[in-house]
Amino acid sequence: MSIFPRPDLRGAVPCYHGGVTREDIESLARDGVLEEASVIDFSVTTNPLGPSPAARAALAAVDIQRYPDSEATELRCELGRRLGVDVDNLIVGNGSVELIWLVCSAYLRAGDASLIIGPTFGEYETASRIFGADVTFYLAQEEDDFSPDLDVATRLIHEISPRLVFLCNPNNPTGYHMQSDQVARVVDAGCDSLVVVDEAFATLADSRSASEALARRPNVVLLRSMTKDYALAGLRIGYAVASAEIIDVLRRARPPWTVNSCAQAAALASLRDESYLSRSRHEIDAAKLYLVARLVELGLKVVPSQANFLLVKVGDAAAFRKKLLRKGFCARDCTSFGLREYVRIGVRTREECHELVVAMREVM
C-alpha cells in the first residue's frame, strides 16, 4: 500500500486503562470461578453511589431524534453560574479525555516539547506523541510518597521550555494533591507554556479549594470530569475552564456534536441535585478512612492520598490483581504507570470495602 499515515502514528499504542476486561471474565468463566455480575470493580474511580436519581429521570426525557446542542449552552450557563465564570470561559467535552486530545491537536506541533509531571495518567503521553511532540517526564519519587519536588520540576520547565505542561491534581494514581500556591509555582515557571491542570478528581478530594482563579491566567487550562463525581462514566462528559482566547481555539479545533444529548441532560440534572455531592462525599470519606485503617492492619504500605482512591504496595501487582480477581474483586494493576509493585484501589461503599479487605487477607 502506497498511502502511509503520519509518521507520528507508526507504532502508536492506545493508552491502557485497566479495569475488568472481557478476556478476564471469559477466562474465569471457563474455569468456573465466577460470572461477570459477581465482580466488584475497585479498579475504577467513580462515585460508588451511582448516578443521581435526577440524572436517571432526565435521561428518560431526552428526545434522541434531535441533534444535541453542539455548544452545550444550557450546561455551560449552569456551570458558569456555579463557578463564577463567563460562558465564554467554558467548553464541554466528551469526557475530559477528549479535551486532553483537543488541547494537543490545537497547540502541539511536530517537535514541540511536552512535559508531564508523573507518574500519572497515560493519555497525556499518548495524545502528545500522536501530535508529534517530544515527551519529557518529571517523575516524583517513591521515597517521597510521590510528592513532586517543585524545585526540580520548575527547573526542568525553564530548561526545556515545553509547549505544554500536564499536571494532574489530585494526581492519578498517587492521590497527591498540590495546594493552590504549589500549582501557581508551576504556572509561573511555565509562563511561556500552556499548563494543563487536570482536576478530574478534585470534587471528591479531601481538601477542596476553589481553583477557578488559576484559569484567569493566560497560560492555564483547567480540566474537570463529571464522570467521576457524578458517576456518568458511560455517558462521557467533562469540561474545561480557561481564558476566552483559549476556549475559542479549542472550539475551532473541535468536531461538532461530540457531546450527546443524554450526557448533557444527565450532567445538568446532576448539578441541580444539590444534596447529591455532599451525601456522596460523606459516605466516600467514611469508607476511605475505614479502608486505609484495614489495609494498614494487613501490613500494606498505603501512599497518603487526598483523592477517592488509594495507591497500595502489594509486591507483584500483576500477580496480585489476578489472585484478587479470582475472588471476585478487581484492583488496578499500576504497572502501566511504571509502578510494578502497586495497585490502585478506588474507594467504594463501606460494605464493599469490608468485603475487599476480607478477600485481600485471604489472597495475602
Please give the chain's pLDDT, 364 residues, in tens. 567 778 777 777 788 887 776 676 666 666 656 655 578 999 999 999 999 999 999 999 999 999 999 999 999 999 999 999 999 999 999 999 999 999 999 999 999 999 999 999 999 999 999 999 999 999 999 999 999 999 999 999 999 999 999 999 999 999 999 999 999 999 999 999 999 999 999 999 987 666 888 889 999 999 999 999 999 999 999 999 999 999 999 999 999 999 999 999 999 999 999 899 999 999 999 999 999 999 999 999 999 999 999 999 999 999 999 999 999 999 999 999 999 999 999 999 999 999 999 999 999 8
| 311 inside domain | yes
Measured distance CA(22)–CA(36) in Å, rounded: 9
The C-alpha cell 456551570 sits at 79
Do both 236 and 205 map to the same domain? yes
Q: Does one domain contain both 205 and 233?
A: yes
Domain of residue 224 covers 53-272
Mention every residue, 6+ apart, whose C-beta is less than 8 A from residue 291.
310, 345, 347, 353, 356, 357
The rounded distance, in Å, linking the Cα atoms of 156 and 53 is: 47
Task: Give dist(CA 9, CA 132) in Å, integer.
Answer: 9
pTM, two decimals, is 0.94
Same domain, 297 and 179: no
Residues 176 and 313 in one domain: no
Q: What gap in Å lies between CA 338 and CA 142, rounded to an integer?
A: 11
Which of 272, 294, 314 is the last residue in one of the domains?
272
User: Residue 197: phi, psi to the nearest 5?
Assistant: -105, 110
- 63 and 203 co-located in one domain: yes
Count the domains in the chain: 2
Place of cell 517513591: 142
- Residue carrying C-alpha cell 520548575: 154
Question: Do 167 and 262 share a domain, yes or no?
Answer: yes
Contact 223, 200 (CB under 8 A): yes
Cβ of 4: how many Cβ atoms within 10 Å? 8
